[in-house]
Amino acid sequence: MSVKVSTPKGTRDFLPEEVKKRNYIFTTIRKVFELYGFEPIETPSFEMSQTLMGKYGEEGDRLIFRILNSGDKMKKADIQALSEDNLPRFANSLAEKALRYDLTVPFARFVVQHQHALSFPFKRYQIQPVWRADRPQHGRYQEFYQCDADVVGSDSLLCELELIQIFDQSLTKLNLPGFTIKLNNRKILSGIAEVCGEQRRLVELVTAIDKLDKIGEQGVIDELRDKGISKDSIEKIRPLFTFSGNNELKLDFLRTFLNTSAIGIQGVEELSYLVRTVSQFPLERGVLELDITLARGLNYYTGAILEVKAHDVKMGSICGGGRYDDLTGLFGLKGLSGVGISFGADRIYDVLSELNLFPDEVLHQKKILFVNFDELTYSHVQKLLTGFRNKGVICEIYPSHAKLQKQFKYANDKNFTHVVIVGLEEIKNNSVALKDMITGDQRILSQEELLNL
RNA sequence: GAGGUUGUAGCUCAGUUGGUUAGAGCGUCGGUUUGUGGUACCGAAGGUCGCGGGUUCGAGACCCGUCUCCCUCCCCA
């Protein structure tokens, strides 16, 4: 070993077996997206900085990977901004491009830019990597794949319903035994803030409530107090911490709790529609659960908020999503409502690995290795190789005249299911020897019999 | 961005209060076997002890810095 080599932190290489398993996840999700009429698009891995900056809140900007200007562009650096201690502006002058942080904001840019070529409602899916300069942890990487499906140009709740069904179908097809689809609505959160008179502190209020299951009731109360939320307001919110029951009971509770807030009641009606419809057309394995503490994507969600957690694993959410009424508004196209979901393929991979749920076929396809003896036998083998490949069977010939021991070891290590031997003896009898690498059995066949297996 | 933790062979890890030439298992390669893998036996290769500096007669071990791994917070997939 001469130099210490490694991938940058938060990134990984994928061995052939891992790539096969990942492709299985992508393919499964892609098929479901297509069955619901979503069409594929792709966008560049990096965008203009200004497209991304400021779209994910203050925290988000910190986590965006910036791309340093190259060559003479370096000379354009805004030294004055640096001397005035205006670091964001200085940074922008150094890096006019940045790696995409998610697929939603680039999609909003895409819709605005190509609006003349799209017909609405536009349903697209997109499976590409995103980058976040986050500190790596269990299930958190700096480079990871998102599989997004969004509908833009329709405010029908049928879209939300379809997306919930897509969660259910995809994860069921991936053989996940159980998962909860958590549902909330930004209008409920606005309603809560309104009812306790803290509309202006919505984000602080809600991010504290979001931690309920993590730090408990007292923890949330402490945090609210630290953030300067009044005692009165906290008292008004308190009932939210303890109420429980099924979705119907929760809705009843909210209807009463939010009855002075028009927007809150609107949120309740939206949730109520989804809960009712899902119960009429039940999900396969997913459990739909109202969770008013759910507070994701506050920076742009305006209606539904969705999150999926797998059962029986210690892992953050594996999918997210929600409705955003004004996302394209940021890029100048008003009045276009969107709603979308995102699958975290890397986390799903970790969950499937942990629960041992990858199907055997993904890794153990039929594969045949032909032993390589010499030039004389090669022409006979080549005919068989072509025959198998025409039938769609994976096969290969060992590339050199190595001793048999070595060729068999190769077959074993690479999970070949069969080895075919064609040597002088077999050619003389117009036969082949076929060895089953799993059982160890070996038999003699004619060449025709071999191809017809 | 804040706090904690880890780093010795390709991998998982030993290495005593600082003291000769830094070890094991697994893996790799070769042989036992020039027409047979997965088991067994024999042998070999492989290490600037993360990096830089300091203390010391002497540092893998102690001190400082730095990078990295993993974890908590923040936030999220």
| DSSP character string of A382-445 | HHHHHHHHHTT-EEEE-SS---HHHHHHHHHHTT-SEEEE--HHHHHTTEEEEEETTT--EEEE
| CA/C1' separation A53–B67 (Å) | 29
- In chain A, the domains with their CATH numbers are 16-46+100-354 (3.30.930.10), 364-451 (3.40.50.800)
Q: For strand B, is any atom closer than 7 Å to the CB of A132?
A: yes
| CA/C1' separation A415–B26 (Å) | 20
What CA–CA distance (Å, rounded) separates A208 from A219?
9
- Residue given tokens 């069904």 in the structure block: A165
Specify the nucleotide whose C1' lies closest to residue A423 (CA): B35
Q: For strand B, is any atom closer than 7 Å to the CB of A187?
A: no
Specify the nucleotide whose C1' lies closest to residue A130 (CA): B77
Specify the nucleotide whose C1' lies closest to residue A144 (CA): B77
| CA/C1' separation A3–B60 (Å) | 19
Q: For strand B, is any atom closer than 7 Å to the CB of A9?
A: yes
What residue type is A212 in one-letter code? L
| CA/C1' separation A424–B31 (Å) | 27
Q: Which pLDDT score is estimated for A1?
A: 36
- Is ipTM beyond 0.90? no
Residues paired with residue A128 on neighbouring β-strands, in sequence order: A146
Chain A, 400-429: which CBs lie within 7 Å of strand B?
Answer: 403-406, 408-409, 411-413, 419, 421, 423-426
| CA/C1' separation A413–B25 (Å) | 21
- Residue given tokens 């098929």 in the structure block: A31
Coil, helix or strand for A295? coil
Other Cβ atoms less than 10 A from the Cβ of A252: the count is 14
- Residue given tokens 């097809």 in the structure block: A173
pTM listed for this prediction? 0.91
Q: For strand B, is any atom closer than 7 Å to the CB of A100?
A: no
Kindly give, in sequence order, each residue whose CB lies less than 8 Å from that of residue A376, ignoring residues fewer than 6 positions away: A424, A427
Which stretches of A227-355 are DSSP H helices?
231-237, 239-242, 247-257, 262-280, 345-354
Coil, helix or strand for A107? helix
| CA/C1' separation A405–B44 (Å) | 19
What CA–CA distance (Å, rounded) separates A204 from A99?
28
Residue A430 Ramachandran class (φ > 0 left, ψ -120 to 50 alpha, else beta): left
Q: For strand B, is any atom closer than 7 Å to the CB of A297?
A: yes
Residues of chain A with pLDDT under 50: 1-2
Specify the nucleotide whose C1' lies closest to residue A321 (CA): B77
Chain A, 192-221: which CBs lie within 7 Å of strand B?
Answer: 207, 211, 214
Nearest by Cα to A347 from A56, A25, A105, A62: A25
- The two tokens of residue A394 are 């994976």
